[in-house]
Amino acid sequence: MEDRSAKQKTSPGEFVRQVQAEARKVVWPTRQETVTTSIFVGIMMVILALFFLGIDTLFGKLVQFLLSLA
């Protein structure tokens, strides 16, 4: 069992001050970084969609072929 006296409870006011202090440390991306990242994500999404479309089509044709043998 842990000693409860060793853990001190934080008051709501102190908690809010700690949250504000941590929020000030956040480094937000610039508009250019956001646009660049969004474009990259869009391009990767299209590439992966085409890849999975190809794989799905390939497996669909393979299953269709195997079923035609039966």
What is the pLDDT at residue 3? 57
Classify residue 57: in a domain, yes or no: yes
What is the pLDDT at residue 58? 98
What is the pLDDT at residue 6? 61
What is the pLDDT at residue 64? 96
Range of the domain at 67: 44-70
Tokens read off for 56: 């799905």
Give whole-number Cα distances, 51 to 44, 48, 57, in Å. Answer: 10, 5, 10
Classify residue 58: in a domain, yes or no: yes
pLDDT, tens digit (0-9, with 9 covering 90-100), for 21-37: 999 999 999 999 999 99
The residue to which tokens 């001190």 are assigned: 8
Distance of CA 14 to the CA centre of its chain: 31
Residue ranges for the chain with pLDDT beneath 50: none
Q: Which amino acid makes up residue 22?
A: E
60, 67 contact by CB (below 8 A): no
Number of domains in the chain: 1
Q: Which amino acid makes up residue 40?
A: F
Classify residue 11: in a domain, yes or no: no
